[in-house]
Amino acid sequence: MLVVSRALPPHTSTELVATQAGEFPVLPVPYNQGFAVAPVPLQKTRTGSQRLEVTTPTFPSLRGARVEVAVATYLRAPTETIHVALLGPNGRRIGSCRIPPSEYHDNAIITCPVGRPERLRHLVVTVNGQAPLALYAAKEGDQLVAGALVRQRHVGSLGARLRLLRGWLGVLRPALFSPVALLIFMILSTALLGAALLLVGWRDTTETPSASDGLGVPSRDAP
């Protein structure tokens, strides 16, 4: 039972919210990307800051969600505070976030709560300094698209955790295997690994050399 519990999703997990067919969020779901995602450098402005505006996918109406994007610092330690503005229809601001350098790193996911994700249309990422920074985005026609919608999901019962795992496996599994077969394989492989570790530990304890001559008679040199 313990092996099965360890193979299941945790009681609280981050759930990626899918959008309408053919329009999955851009990062952090590379296995669902139908287009290339690459770091796009922020553009320098006349005032000395850096800025990049991107379009977001079409998100559903959902409460308690947040939008996530990935940033790159080109292997440098972060030194700039990132400002994220959430824009709705007609460019109206519907939210904003401030991410200090201590809360991100190279290739990190930064997050910003969004109250009305169905109204979100654009993200504007800005830093005031000159340190290189890029935002991971996809090129769709003449638009840069970025942003993934996620939320915290609380799963209490064993049945709910099994259904959630089946949904995950349905996305990631090879086409020749059903989610149930893949779950059984995961449980068996975890159990075999545990048994192998126990066997190795048991053999180490039984094969410990003793101070004897090999016939069960203590050696003369043994104290």
Q: Each residue of 190-203: pLDDT tens digit?
A: 777 767 767 766 66
CATH no. for residue 29? 2.60.120
The pLDDT confidence band at residue 62, using thresholds 50, 70 and 90, is confident
Residue 21 domain flag? yes
Burial class of residue 169 in the structure, from the number of CB atoms within 10 Å of its CB (0-12 exposed, 13-18 middle, 19+ buried)? middle
Residue 209 domain flag? no
Residue 169 domain flag? no
Percent of the chain with pLDDT over 70: 57
In this structure, what token pair is assigned to residue 213? 């001559």
Residue 150 domain flag? yes
Beta strands 50-55 and 122-127 are: antiparallel
Cα 60 from Cα 19, distance rounded (Å): 6
Range of the domain at 83: 14-155
Residue 167 domain flag? no
In this structure, what token pair is assigned to residue 32? 């669902």
Contacts of 26 (CB under 8 A, 6+ apart): 33, 37, 57, 136, 137, 138, 145, 146, 147, 148
Residue 214 domain flag? no
Residue 200 domain flag? no
